[in-house]
Amino acid sequence: MKKKLSDKDLKDWNKFIKNKDKINPKDELYEPSTNKNRSTFVIDLHGYGLDQANKFVEKTINECFEKQFSIINIITGKGMRSKSAEDPYKSTQLSILKYSIPEFINSNVELMKKIKNIENIDEKDLGSFNVYLKSKNKFR
């Protein structure tokens, strides 16, 4: 079945493919040259397994600390697609990233030396939280 693209969709697609801007992979830390407010860095963990997510979060916190970001917004998702609830041998609370990532960070002594506070900003249970980093200049 072929569906005809709307004029708007076609225009948007042509604009996208002609755009010369680089699209950065979500698992690489980069410094956007166009971002004037470098205080917040956002990572999205959708599609990551638990071990991958833990390693990526650890790497991101360390690199953001070095690059002097003050806030990392970590998007974990709500865990709606997790199969943990269906498995009686798995803990729903610990296998879903929104619960396990903050626990991983809190249990990592070296990471916690660089962190002021971890705050759940997720009033509507959307699956994200902020990590507030200490200033590298004041780090001891």
Are the beta carbons of 39 and 32 closer than 8 angstroms? no
Here the CATH number for the domain that contains residue 98 is 3.30.1370.110
The model's pLDDT over 73-109, given as tens digits with 9 standing for 90+, comes to 998 876 545 454 554 444 444 447 888 899 999 999 9
Q: Is 6 inside a domain boundary?
A: no
Question: Does 88 fall in a domain?
Answer: yes
The answer to whether residue 43 sits within a structural domain is yes
Assigned domain for 30 exists: no
Residue 13 domain-assigned (yes or no): no
Place of tokens 């390693």: 55
Report yes or no on 100 lying in a domain: yes
Q: From the centroid of its chain, how far is CA 38?
A: 16
Contact 131, 115 (CB under 8 A): yes
Task: Enumerate residue ranges in the chain where pLDDT < 70.
Answer: 1-2, 21-38, 78-95, 121-126, 138-140
Q: What's the number of domains the chain is made of? A: 1
Nearest to 100, CA basis, from 123, 121, 129: 129
- Residue range(s) defining the domain that contains residue 102: 38-138
Structure token digits, residue 89: 């041998």
Q: Is residue 85 part of a domain?
A: yes
Contacts of 87 (CB under 8 A, 6+ apart): none
